[in-house]
Structure 1
Amino acid sequence: MIPLILGYTLDLLVGDPQGFPHPIRLIGKMIENVERVLRKKCKSAQDERRAGIILWFVVVLTSYAVPLVILWLSSKISLLLAGAIETVMCAFILATKSLKDESMIVHKYLEQNDLSSARKYLSYIVGRDVENLNSNQIAKAAVETVAENTSDGVIAPMLFILIGGAPLGFLYKGINTLDSMVGYKNEKYINMGRFSALLDDAANFLPSRIASYLMITASYILNMDYVSAYRIYKRDRYNHKSPNSAHTESVCAGALNIMLGGPNYYGGTLVTKPTIGDDKRPVVNDDIKKANKLMYATSLLCLGIGITVKFLILSF
């Protein structure tokens, strides 16, 4: 519990230092290298599906085993050393400050009416085409990113850490990184990425729902429209191709009384998606700040409640 508390605090203070070798980037490199080796042996769609399963187990088990061995070896030297290393690990696993910082860069350029720079930095955190987005559409995309990633970037890894420490947190990040890199339904990954996509859905099933109720509570604490947050959540939480992604998005849309989702262009192709929330007003730049406040409050609630529950369980 102590490394999680300290790691969360460290993440809020420092975030992800630029130029420092980030463990999640190392997981990404491992995925690329293992995929490259496995693809050379694939002659059919069935081979690709089998390779996808092997890829998943290699990446996920390695993501768990490496930090586990590091912590075990360091504990043989000193428990304080192991605690310090696990604290840094927890800070790397959580993405609270980096999520805020990346979205607030977009906010800064929108504030300056520099749409070109706002689009540029937005492109680093979203997958859609950004070239023709106006200021309201840019703000909406940034809010959607913060809302969706509140679950899989902050709450889900925190819950995994609470259950099994930093090693289980890295196991989750392995699952999540695999989905973000190979979990697509395009020609390249429809077979190899299928297993990773399914297991990511399974891993996020409970965390996304826990995150949503924590976010509804946070909207009440922040004096946002918690009644609408709950109503929109119950109505629109499945308005997404993923069974989990619209849960926190729908809460955020309701709390801010805005509409998220809807059609967007990806690679020049218009992709029609359901809307989330009611179109009561346009999404504006200030909504990025509000979404971040909601994300921070939700993460603090999760940490406080999670630590309390774990302490009570261990007390028995």
Structure 2
Amino acid sequence: MGLYGPEIIFFALWLGWWLDRRLGEPMFWHPLVGFGRLVQWMELSLNPKAQALADSAKESSHGLMRKQIPNQASKPEQFLGCLALVLMVLPLTYGLWFLLAGLKEQSVSELGYWYDFFAILLQGAVLYIALGAKSLDQHLEQIERPLLAGDLEQARYYVSWIVSRDTADMNQMRITRAAIESGLENGSDGAFAPIFWFLVAGAPGVLLYRLSNTLDAMWGYKTARFLSFGWAAARFDDLLNIVPARLTALLYAVNTPLGWAGFKASLACWQKQGGNWESPNAGPVMAAGAGALKIQLGGGDTYHGVWKERPVLGLGADPVIDDLPRARHLIKRTLLSWMLLGSSAVFIVGLL
């Protein structure tokens, strides 16, 4: 914990959690929204496929034949994607580290005990911006309410906010399944992994993770445009999530509402099914969560107009509406476990 003592990390951790619980996502200008605009500009500047697609669209609007953009890996584009990743992540992360280091150097001569106060405020604020726990629960609740009221049209509208699959033809089960899958996966990506990296490296660690995760969300698609350019962002995000995703899978098992039977089912599903999923980190998380709830996730769904068969995760029957609040409760209990275990780890480090 280098620049900042365990006591600072402890109080900043709970401050960030409290701010997220109290305020949720910033209502007006979110820093990550501004970062997202910068990401779009960087991709348009460095990704040759982006310009090729723009030119193709112009030709099509003038009645000319659109060029076919090859959907295959390209080493030069992978290099440009690596360069873009470095340019988007390292300056901001180093800038925050430099600011904290500067505060540390001034703490004895000028700031005195005020250093701890400023450091806690700054690091807690960065963690708050990176956390998405309350926002995720609010999105899931927005889906749950119209489902319970039988308003599938409204439920489809809200579930489209958090999934990349087609929602226009979703029935009740597929809406519920999509919401639970997204909740379990985004609980790991949006809340638990930020806490992990905050505990490991403070505010610079959580900032590096959140910026990298945002790049993966925007560039990490296996399309003609992003297959090569987004390769580095996707792989780096996978690397950063290896440990927190598996800790999350374990805590889903521990926090199952079904006791010992749910714990064993969760671990069994994780072991047998986690590696079958396309994402190396989403698979263990979703399999463990499905097992903890004893429901069946995965299976076929529609992506960009094409039906795609996916591996089955979990066990038992397809999810019903009542399983969505159970999933929300599981995510909340797991978040509390992360906070308590993280606080305990910081306390133990402080005693060493």
Please tell me the TM-score bracket, short chain as reference: over 0.9
**Cα gap change, 1:232 to 1:173, in 2 (>3 Å):** same
| 1:286 maps onto 2:286 in alignment | no
Once the two structures are TM-superposed, the CA of residue 85 in structure 1 deviates from its matched residue by 2.7
Once the two structures are TM-superposed, the CA of residue 40 in structure 1 deviates from its matched residue by 5.7
Q: For the Cα contact (< 8 Å) 1:139–1:283, is it kept in 2?
A: yes
> In the alignment, which residue of structure 2 is the partner of 1:198?
235
- Greater Rg, structure 1 or structure 2? 2
Once the two structures are TM-superposed, the CA of residue 70 in structure 1 deviates from its matched residue by 4.8
Q: Percent identity?
A: 30
CA distance in 2, matches of 1:167, 1:81: 15
The equivalences for 1:1-316 within 5 A come to 1-19=10-28, 21-39=29-47, 45-71=74-100, 78-79=114-115, 80-219=117-256, 225-278=262-315, 280-316=316-352
Deviations 1:134-165 (A, max 9, x none): 11110110000111112111111100000111
Q: For the Cα contact (< 8 Å) 2:192–2:244, is it kept in 1?
A: yes
Once the two structures are TM-superposed, the CA of residue 30 in structure 1 deviates from its matched residue by 2.0
CA distance in 2, matches of 1:112, 1:302: 33
CA distance in 2, matches of 1:38, 1:315: 48
Alignment root-mean-square deviation, CA: 2.2
Once the two structures are TM-superposed, the CA of residue 241 in structure 1 deviates from its matched residue by 0.6
Q: For the Cα contact (< 8 Å) 1:27–1:63, is it kept in 2?
A: no
**Cα gap change, 1:138 to 1:256, in 2 (>3 Å):** same
Q: For the Cα contact (< 8 Å) 1:150–1:248, is it kept in 2?
A: no
Once the two structures are TM-superposed, the CA of residue 62 in structure 1 deviates from its matched residue by 2.9
CA distance in 1, matches of 2:158, 2:150: 14
Q: For structure 2, which runs of at least 5 residues remain unmatched after alignment?
A: 1-9, 53-72
Q: For the Cα contact (< 8 Å) 1:222–1:294, is it kept in 2?
A: no
Q: For the Cα contact (< 8 Å) 2:297–2:318, is it kept in 1?
A: no
Query: Which range is displaced more, 116-125 or 288-297?
Result: 288-297
**Cα gap change, 1:248 to 1:184, in 2 (>3 Å):** same
Q: For structure 1, which runs of at least 5 residues remain unmatched after alignment?
A: none
What is the SS of the residue equivalent to 1:284?
coil
Q: Aligned letter for 1:15? A: G
Q: For the Cα contact (< 8 Å) 1:71–1:86, is it kept in 2?
A: no
CA distance in 2, matches of 1:267, 1:29: 24
Q: For the Cα contact (< 8 Å) 2:252–2:292, is it kept in 1?
A: no
Once the two structures are TM-superposed, the CA of residue 222 in structure 1 deviates from its matched residue by 7.1
CA distance in 1, matches of 2:263, 2:186: 20
CA distance in 2, matches of 1:95, 1:122: 17
Query: Which range is displaced more, 43-52 or 143-152?
Result: 43-52
Q: Aligned letter for 2:271? A: K
Once the two structures are TM-superposed, the CA of residue 71 in structure 1 deviates from its matched residue by 4.4
Once the two structures are TM-superposed, the CA of residue 73 in structure 1 deviates from its matched residue by 6.0
Q: For the Cα contact (< 8 Å) 1:122–1:142, is it kept in 2?
A: yes
Aligned length: 314
Q: For the Cα contact (< 8 Å) 2:257–2:293, is it kept in 1?
A: no
Once the two structures are TM-superposed, the CA of residue 47 in structure 1 deviates from its matched residue by 2.8
CA distance in 1, matches of 2:328, 2:178: 13
What is the SS of the residue equivalent to 1:270?
strand
Deviations 1:257-293 (A, max 9, x none): 1110111111101122111012x22311221211111
TM-score (norm 2): 0.83
What is the SS of the residue equivalent to 2:256?
helix
Once the two structures are TM-superposed, the CA of residue 188 in structure 1 deviates from its matched residue by 0.5
Once the two structures are TM-superposed, the CA of residue 50 in structure 1 deviates from its matched residue by 1.4
**Cα gap change, 1:222 to 1:298, in 2 (>3 Å):** farther
> In the alignment, which residue of structure 1 is the partner of 2:3?
none
Q: For the Cα contact (< 8 Å) 1:264–1:270, is it kept in 2?
A: yes
